[in-house]
Structure formats: structure tokens, C-alpha cells
């Protein structure tokens, strides 16, 4: 399959909806297939890249922090960034700036930039396909 540019818009906050996991599965698959991927986050989605996410132990299961290996979306993004480099794919991530401000989650991991809906529109115009994954 030839390389395409695919754009995703994510709206759900971390740890709230299965749509976040499914979105990451799609992004992983797109990069695995060699496509370039853009991700624009809106509303709760802007928290996905927040640097201050911290793992925790799990007393119910008797697991320490190390044993629990609690997933953090910011780490998923970082691993996906690495994968994109290895595959020679462009992987761009923009968080809606106003959404960052109102949630106080401006500290995003490296490679996740601040922007706005106009950036999303440029991407959509230049992508083969754009999938909006809205909050329900």
C-alpha cells in the first residue's frame, strides 16, 4: 500500500473512555503500515500528552508501582513517536491551545505542539482521510 497521510482528531480525556485505546490502536496500525499520521486533540484529549501523568501501585492486586506498570498515555505517545522514526513516517501531534489553558495541562511531552482548529483544517485539506473521534 502506498504511503498516505491520515489525520485523527481525539476528544476524550485519558482514563475515561475506551475510544482513547482504540484511537491509539489505529495510530499504531497506521504507522506500522508506513503512513504519515497527524493527531489533533481537542477538549479532554489535550490531557493525553501531559507530562505530569504518574504511575501508581495497585494495592487491590498487591502490585508495586514497578510491578503494576500502569499505562500512561503520554508514554504511549512517546513510544509511538519512536515507532514513527523507525518507520520513516511523519507523526505530528497538536493540542488545542485554549483547551490546554483551561485544563492547566500545558506541559506536554516533547513533540506535542500547541495549536488550534486552523491547524486541523490545514491537515484535513492535505490528508487522504480524516477521522474525528468525538466524545459521546
Residue closer to another protein (CB basis): 65 or 121: 121
| DSSP letter for each residue of 17-56 | -HHHHHHHHHHHHHHHTT-EEEEEE-GGGGGGGBTT----
Stretch that binds another protein, among 50-58, 61-69, 78-86, 120-128 (CB under 8 A): 120-128
- Nearest distance in Å: CB 117, another protein: 4
Residue closer to another protein (CB basis): 5 or 49: 5
Span between the terminal Cα atoms of the chain, in Å: 33
Cα(2)–Cα(118) distance, rounded to whole angstroms? 27
Residue closer to another protein (CB basis): 34 or 65: 34
Strands 91-96 and 112-115: parallel
Question: How many residues contact another protein, by CB under 8 A?
Answer: 33
Half-sphere exposure of 130 (CA within 13 A, CB side): 16
Is there binding between residue 35 and another protein (CB under 8 A)?
Answer: yes
Cα(46)–Cα(61) distance, rounded to whole angstroms? 30
Is there binding between residue 39 and another protein (CB under 8 A)?
Answer: no
Residues 51-90 interacting with another protein (rule: CB under 8 A): none
| Positions in the binding site for another protein (CB under 8 A) | 1, 4, 6, 9, 11, 18-19, 22, 25-26, 29-30, 32-33, 35, 42-43, 116-118, 120-121, 124-125, 128-136
Amino acid at each position: 500500500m502506498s504511503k498516505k497521510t491520515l489525520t485523527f482528531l481525539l476528544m476524550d480525556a485519558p482514563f475515561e473512555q475506551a475510544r482513547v485505546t482504540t484511537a491509539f490502536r489505529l495510530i499504531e496500525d497506521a504507522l506500522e503500515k508506513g503512513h504519515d499520521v497527524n493527531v489533533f486533540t481537542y477538549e479532554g484529549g489535550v490531557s493525553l500528552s501531559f507530562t505530569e501523568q504518574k504511575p501508581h501501585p495497585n494495592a487491590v492486586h498487591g502490585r508495586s508501582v514497578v510491578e503494576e506498570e500502569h499505562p500512561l498515555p503520554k508514554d504511549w505517545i512517546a513510544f509511538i513517536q519512536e515507532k514513527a522514526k523507525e518507520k520513516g513516517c511523519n507523526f505530528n501531534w497538536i493540542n488545542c491551545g485554549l483547551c490546554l489553558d483551561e485544563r492547566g495541562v500545558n506541559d506536554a511531552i516533547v513533540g506535542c505542539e500547541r495549536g488550534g482548529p486552523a491547524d486541523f483544517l490545514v491537515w484535513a485539506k492535505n490528508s487522504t482521510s480524516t477521522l474525528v473521534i468525538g466524545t459521546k
